[in-house]
Amino acid sequence: MTQVETSIARRDVRPFSVDVPEEDLVELRRRVRAARWPEKETVADPSQGVQLATMQELVRYWGSDYDLRRFEARLNALPQFMTEIDGLDIHFIHVRSPHERALPLIITHGWPGSVIEMLNVIGPLTDPTAHGGDPGDAFDVVVPSMPGYGFSAKPTGTGWDPVHIAGAWIRLMRRLGYTRFVAQGGDWGAQITDVMGAQAPPELLGIHSNMPGTVPPEVSKALASNVLGAGDPPPSGLSADEQRAYERLSFLYTKGIGYALEMGLRPQTLYGLADSPVALAAWMLDHDARSYDDIAAAFDGQPVGSLTRDEVLDNITLTWVTNTGVSSGRLYWENTLGFFDVKGVTVPAAVSVFPNELYQAPRSWTEQAYPNLIYFNEVDKGNHFAAWQEPELFTTEVRAAFRSLR
Amino acid sequence: MSSTVETTSEIRPFQVEVPDEALEDLRRRIAATNWPEKETIADQSQGVPLAMIQQLARYWATDYDWRRCEANLNALPQFITEIDGLDIHFIHARSQHEDALPLIINHGWPGSIIEQLKLIDPLTNPTAHGASAADAFHVVIPSMPGYGFSAKPTSTGWGPERMARAWAELMPRLGYTRYVAQGGDWGAFVVDQIGLQAPAGLLAIHTNMPATVPADLDKASLAGDPPPSGLAAEERRAYQQLLRTYGQVEYARYMAARPQTLYGIADSPVGLAAWLLDHNDADGQPAAAVAAALDRTTSATGELTRDEILDNITLYWLTNTGVSASRLYWEYKGGFFNAKGVAIPVATTVFPGEQYQAPRSWAERAYPNLIYYHQADRGGHFAAWEQPQLFTEELRAAFRSLR
């Protein structure tokens, strides 16, 4: 990878393009093909983790027909930049709309994602008229790589938590000359976007989240006490929607987010993520039960929405090539916020609830969590990776969410 | 292999013979390790530090000699026998003293039979180690299913309960009609289960990780509540140690949920080594006793050395048992340190570096037939491995009243 500095580059924002050395790809392919496997799981379902047959199909494709330069070509087709914020080089995609009065939007990806998650929404958001939309819905789009992710630099000291990142994004948007903008995110991006909404700089008109933090404190406390399976009973008086959300979250905390808790405690111990492409791929596939089902289906030739095996491997290959398995995991160690807790957002907030998200935020909790709720919609398809899997629907949601703020 | 019971058709002698290519592939993989960046802090709070694992990897890929370990294992009588459909590997060292007490010792995670090797001679041959012939044991050390040279289960169900039943079949098969059982870590779970099952011939158990926590305190500690009032000083300390342990065992909870996802411990030697090293003890994570061993090249008193740490890790690598061993966490659905209701005679030694130091008050309630309770002054979670002399003395004392 070289970062290209040109004479037209401004002092602090440098153009960037991806250029992976050939030997890195040769070495990746060698490692993929030399994978040493464990035995097959002892069950007929994914209840012990990523299934051997799925991993072996992934590796077969990764080591043969998959184009290892696909992610590079996709990224280099877009204007990418690097700028230093608080001592750290931040990589970002910045696509200006052809429409004059476009609304500036910063979109933050999550784990185990990267800017790859957002590539299919950039065109429709910046150029709506080319995608059956209205010029009044145009956005200027900024998609940064979080510190320790992708082509952003890796922190060498502590402190790059979601709060720090949120502050950095506000400075990034100002540096790009935007005096009014909106922010969007899912997964870690949702937390960072919520924190931006709580920091509420004057330029931030509103936020949109596809993984809103809405869980009331007493519900959050009951969930935390049950992590080891022995705690408080569920709070009483929950509505049907709230009860369903509680049950989904309870499953998550007891069975479903071990990866997050392990990275929260011992990210450095995950040496396999740096040394073994197969380890990295499996770790990244195993985010949550529903997205795993969809990704397993993609390797079975039945992708759900746009989440194809090529998309999945673009993201994993990017993470391998940048050796960011451990540095990205460290964000969990840095974080001190409750994943789904209310973050104190005061700016106008919009929420889309996707049916296969980790939990379905009830409207009641969402109204409490975001006192200035300008948009709430439950859509009929999409998993945790909403932008990645359902880019059209996601684009429609983002347009509708921010329409009242223009 | 002179005993008649061992020459029956169902018990086959076993020797370890690792092909050269497997060792070459291991060295090649270690040398080719792709490393992450250094941790962003100056201590061990993000996991196994880069410098620690790199130093270990350098030695592992160069001067470390697996063949020495292999020769040590092959100098012991090893066997394979099928129990409940699975080939079980075990060491079986008989004492020259005919009245020796038969003893089955069960290792734990992230361990193997390597943990127990230094006990074998002192236990079977006490007169060569300054003890009395009356203290002799016949020693059986099985590899748990999915561990070491035992077979890997291909279906579900091999939890501690089933292992306990298997050991109760193994011991009579070896001709032992009265015997005792010992364990720490998973071995402690298995000996508690065998104690509950109380098969004919089992005289008593000794555990170095006793499960003694009263039900109300177990529930409160798992929920993360502060210590309740009314605890004695020792109980309060134990409660706080439990809270500390529950904050360190994310690896265990991960393996309980998603063992199959750990492809890196099958494909990457360094991935495996770090995962195995990151088990805690009372004094650190990685365990302080293990971290200290990485800097100890020899020990005249049998303390844990770097070679022994690598013997264990290399055994996992060569048998490709990282994932199959992890699956035991997935199989187990019971409690951790809660009293299980063992009614047969129980002996326990409390080591200061263990997950928690079981107070005598809890031990007496958990094990109503407590025949021995002693707080040792050194040793930790890997007590047999760390302090083999002391551990041997504990077992002699623990079972003396049953002879």
User: With an 8 Å Cβ cutoff, is A401 touching chain B?
Assistant: no
A282–B263 C-beta distance less than 8 A: yes
What is the per-residue pLDDT for B5?
47
* pLDDT at residue B133 tops 90: yes
B48–A39 C-beta distance less than 8 A: no
Domain boundaries, chain B: 5-402
Q: Do domains A22-67+221-334 and A70-214+339-405 have the same CATH topology?
A: yes
What is the per-residue pLDDT for B9?
53
Q: Are B195 and B106 in contact (CB under 8 A)?
A: no
What is the per-residue pLDDT for A11?
55
* pLDDT at residue B6 tops 70: no
For residue A30, the surrounding DSSP H or E stretch is: helix A22-33
pLDDT in tens, B324-369: 999 999 999 999 999 999 999 999 999 999 999 999 999 999 999 9
Q: Is residue A397 classed as helix, strand or coil in its secondary structure?
A: helix
pLDDT band (50, 70, 90) for residue A5: very low
* pLDDT at residue A318 tops 50: yes
| A contact test, residue of B243, B260, B278 with most A CBs within 10 A | B260
Q: What is the CATH number of domain A22-67+221-334?
A: 3.40.50.1820
pLDDT band (50, 70, 90) for residue A227: confident
Write out the two tokens for A335.
Answer: 């974080």
Q: Are A187 and A291 in contact (CB under 8 A)?
A: no
Domain boundaries, chain A: 22-67+221-334, 70-214+339-405
* pLDDT at residue B378 tops 70: yes
A272–B274 C-beta distance less than 8 A: yes
Q: Is residue A53 classed as helix, strand or coil in its secondary structure?
A: helix
**Burial of B208 (C-beta count, 10 Å sphere; 0-12/13-18/19+):** buried
Percentage of chain A lying above the pLDDT 90 cut: 92
pLDDT in tens, A20-40: 999 999 999 999 999 999 999
What is the per-residue pLDDT for A298?
97
* pLDDT at residue A224 tops 90: no
Taking residues A383-402, report their average pLDDT: 98
Of B46, B152, B263, Cβ closest to residue A55: B263
Q: Strands, E, within B158-275: which ranges?
A: 179-183, 202-207
Write out the two tokens for B271.
Answer: 């991935």
Say if pTM beats, i.e. exceeds, 0.80: yes
Taking residues A201-225, report their average pLDDT: 95
Taking residues A133-146, report their average pLDDT: 97
Q: Is residue B332 classed as helix, strand or coil in its secondary structure?
A: coil
Inter-chain CB pairs, A–B, below 8 Å: 197
A-chain residues within 8 Å CB-CB of B274?
A: 269-272
Least confident of A11-15, A154-158, A367-371, B278-282: A11-15
Q: In degrees rounded to 5, what are phi and psi of residue A129?
A: -65, -25
B-chain residues within 8 Å CB-CB of A278?
A: 263-264, 267
Write out the two tokens for B100.
Answer: 């020796």
Q: What is the CATH number of domain A70-214+339-405?
A: 3.40.50.1820
- Choosing among 3.10.129.10, 3.40.50.1820, 3.40.50.720, 3.90.10.10, the CATH entry for B5-402 is 3.40.50.1820
Q: Are A36 and B320 in contact (CB under 8 A)?
A: yes
Taking residues B261-287, report their average pLDDT: 97
Q: How far apart are CA B383 and CA A277, in angstroms?
A: 36
* pLDDT at residue B175 tops 70: yes
Shortest alpha-carbon distance between residue A132 and chain B (Å)? 42
Taking residues B293-308, report their average pLDDT: 96
What is the per-residue pLDDT for A154?
98
User: With an 8 Å Cβ cutoff, is A23 touching chain B?
Assistant: no
Taking residues B133-160, report their average pLDDT: 98
Interface of A with B in 180-239 (CB under 8 A): 224-226, 228-232
A274–B36 C-beta distance less than 8 A: yes
Q: What is the mean pLDDT of chain B?
A: 96
Shortest alpha-carbon distance between residue B149 and chain A (Å)? 14
B-chain residues within 8 Å CB-CB of A258?
A: 250, 253-254, 256-258
Q: How far apart are CA A173 and CA A169, in angstroms?
A: 6
What is the per-residue pLDDT for A225?
84
pLDDT in tens, B66-76: 999 999 999 99
A269–B263 C-beta distance less than 8 A: no
Interface of B with A in 207-236 (CB under 8 A): 218-219, 222-224
Instruction: Kindly give the pairing relationship between strand A204-209 and strand A349-353.
Output: parallel
